[in-house]
Structure 1
Amino acid sequence: MSTALDHLKKHTTVVADTGDFEAIAAYKPQDATTNPSLILAATQKPQYARLVDEAVAYGKAKSSNHHDQLEWALDKLLVNFGVEILKVVPGRVSTEVDARLSFDKDATIAKARRIIDLYKEVGVDKTRVLIKIASTWEGIQAARELEAQYGIHCNLTLLFSFPQAVACAEAGVTLISPFVGRILDWYKKSTGENYTSAQDPGVLSVQRIYNYYRKYDYKTIVMGASFRNVGEIEELTGIDFLTISPGLLQELQSSNKALEPRLSAATAKSQDIPKVTYDEKRFRWELNEDAMATEKLAEGIRNFAKDGKKLEDLLRQKISA
Structure 2
Amino acid sequence: MNQLDQLKAFTTVVADTGNFLQLAQYAPRDATTNPSLILKAVQSPDYAPLLAATVAAHRTEPLEEIVDQVLVRFGLEILKVVPGRVSTEVDARLSFDMAGSIARAHRIIELYEQAGIGRERVLIKLASTWEGIQAAAALEHEGIHCNLTLLFSFCQAVACGEAGVQLISPFVGRIYDWYKKSAGAAWDEAASSGVNDPGVKSVAQIYAYYKKYGIPTEVMGASFRNIGQIQALAGCDLLTISPDLLGQLQALDAPLTRQLSAEMAQGMNLEAHSYNEATFRFALNQDAMATEKLAEGIRLFAVDAGKLDQMIESLR
Q: TM-score, normalised to structure 1's length?
A: 0.96
| Paired position in structure 1 for 2:307 | 310
Matched, 1:184 2:176: yes
Cα separation, 1, equivalents of 2:223 and 2:193:
17
What is the distance in 1 between the residues matched to 2:53 and 2:278? 45
SS at 2:258 equivalent:
coil
Counterparts of 1:221 and 1:89, CA distance in 2: 19
Q: Which residue is equivalent to 1:158?
A: 150
Letter in 2 for 1:232: Q
- Inter-partner Cα distance in structure 2 for 1:75 and 1:42: 15
2:131 paired with 1:134: no
Correspondence 1:238 to 2:231: no
- Distance apart, 1:46 and its partner CA: 1.4
Contact 1:23 1:246 in 2 (8 A): yes
**Which 4+ residue blocks in structure 1 deviate beyond 6 angstroms?**
none
Letter in 1 for 2:234: T
Q: Give distance in 2, aligned partners of 1:58 and 1:294.
A: 40
**Cα pair 1:58 1:72 within 8 Å, conserved:** no
Q: What secondary structure does 1:311 align onto?
A: helix
RMSD of aligned residue pairs (Cα, Å): 0.8
Match of 1:101 in 2: 94
Report whether the alignment pairs 1:276 with 2:273. Answer: yes
1:55 and 1:74 in contact (8 A); partners too: no
Structure 1 counterpart of 2:15: 16
Aligned amino acid, residue 168 of structure 1: C
Distance in 2 between residues matched to 1:260 and 1:199, nearest whole Å: 16
**Whole-Å separation in 2 of the counterparts to 1:88 and 1:121:** 19
* 1:57, distance to aligned residue in structure 2 (A): 2.3
Match for residue 79 of structure 1? 72
Give the SS at the match of 2:196: coil
Q: Deviations over 1:113-133 (max 9, x none)?
A: 000001111111111000000
Give the drift of 1:12: 0.2
How many angstroms apart in 1 are the aligned matches of 2:55 and 2:201? Answer: 44
One-letter code aligned to 1:288: N
Q: Is 1:170 paired with 2:162? A: yes
TM-superposed CA distance for 1:56, in Å, is 1.0
Q: Letter of the aligned partner of 1:163 in structure 2? A: C
Checking the alignment, whether the CA contact within 8 Å between 1:58 and 1:76 is kept in structure 2 is: no
Are 1:60 and 2:59 counterparts?
Answer: yes
Secondary structure in 2 aligned to 1:219? coil
Shift of 1:140: 0.1
Asked whether the 8 Å contact 1:129–1:153 carries over to 2, the reply is yes
Q: Does 1:32 find its partner at 2:25?
A: no
Please tell me whether the aligned partners of residues 94 and 129 of structure 1 are also in contact (alpha carbons under 8 angstroms): yes
TM-score by length of 2: 0.97
Q: Which residue of 2 aligns with 1:215?
A: 212
CA distance in structure 2 between the aligned counterparts of 1:152 and 1:285, rounded to whole angstroms: 29
* Equivalent residue, structure 2, for 1:115: 108
Shift of 1:81: 0.3
For 2:288 and 2:57, how far apart are their aligned partners in 1? 43
Q: Distance in 2 between matches of 1:30 and 1:131?
A: 17
Alpha-carbon distance, 1:23 to partner? 1.3
* Partner SS, residue 60 of structure 1: coil
In the alignment, which residue of structure 2 is the partner of 1:90?
Answer: 83
Which piece of structure 1 moves more, 161-170 or 47-56? Answer: 47-56
Name the CA distance, whole Å, in 2 between partners of 1:72 and 1:156. Answer: 22
Gaps of 5+ in 2: none
